[in-house]
Chain A
Amino acid sequence: GAVVSQHPSRVICKSGTSVKIECRSLDFQATTMFWYRQFPKQSLMLMATSNEGSKATYEQGVEKDKFLINHASLTLSTLTVTSAHPEDSSFYICSARAGTGGFYEQYFGPGTRLTVT
């Protein structure tokens, strides 16, 4: 099956700094990538949807200036958490999809655990 990787798998940063998380589709071209946030023992919350070469669409309540998403190529999307605060600590998961409309499976990355101290 298709593989999606995320880097880093874990990151600890100091409050006020920025951290970048990469999401790559390794063996397919992802027209659409999604970023989710998962709090402990809770479900996944969609943060934003990004299509290659265009601006990301953010879900209601997600600050676009704080969570910068770039989808510069068909195999790479990045999420940058700017001016991180302890409440940004979470598990961030990306997924990638090869097509739009109808059924195209979303393939999920293994997640990135962010801890802000």
Chain B
Amino acid sequence: GEDVEQSLFLSVREGDSSVINCTYTDSSSTYLYWYKQEPGAGLQLLTYIFSNMDMKQDQRLTVLLNKKDKHLSLRIADTQTGDSAIYFCAESRHNTDKLIFGTGTRLQVFP
């Protein structure tokens, strides 16, 4: 199937770390992505990971991939109020250009 699942909401205090989780079902995924969507706007690519990697770090963002369990996570260190948005994971598969998006996680950061 093409299911990509995420928890719907996450609320964290400013300065804490946020961890957003994603599970997918298709083992043929080649790249996995994290996108950020602010209210009424399009999507911004935050980071991506190739399926043969298990970790990628980019400044405050850390992506962990457990291919065996088909589990992807995004950790945001020192979360700020400007990080409040909806975060989507997505996957693409070998020989296709299609992105399959997760259900989205709404991150709320409170002071």
Contacts and interface: CB of A to CB of B under 8 A. Distances in A.
A35 to B, nearest CB: 12
Nearest to A31: B97
Majority-rule SS of B interface residues: strand
Majority-rule SS of A interface residues: strand
Nearest to B45: A105
Contact of A113 (B40, B43, B48, B97): B40
Contact of A110 (B42, B97, B99, B100): B42
A42 B103 contact: yes
B95 A101 contact: yes
Interface residues of B, number: 20
Contact of B98 (A42, A46, A103): A46
Contacts of B31: 103
Residue among A4, A43, A108 facing the most chain B CB atoms (10 A cut-off): A43
B101 A43 contact: yes
Closest 5 A/B residue pairs (Cβ): A108-B42, A108-B43, A110-B42, A43-B101, A44-B101
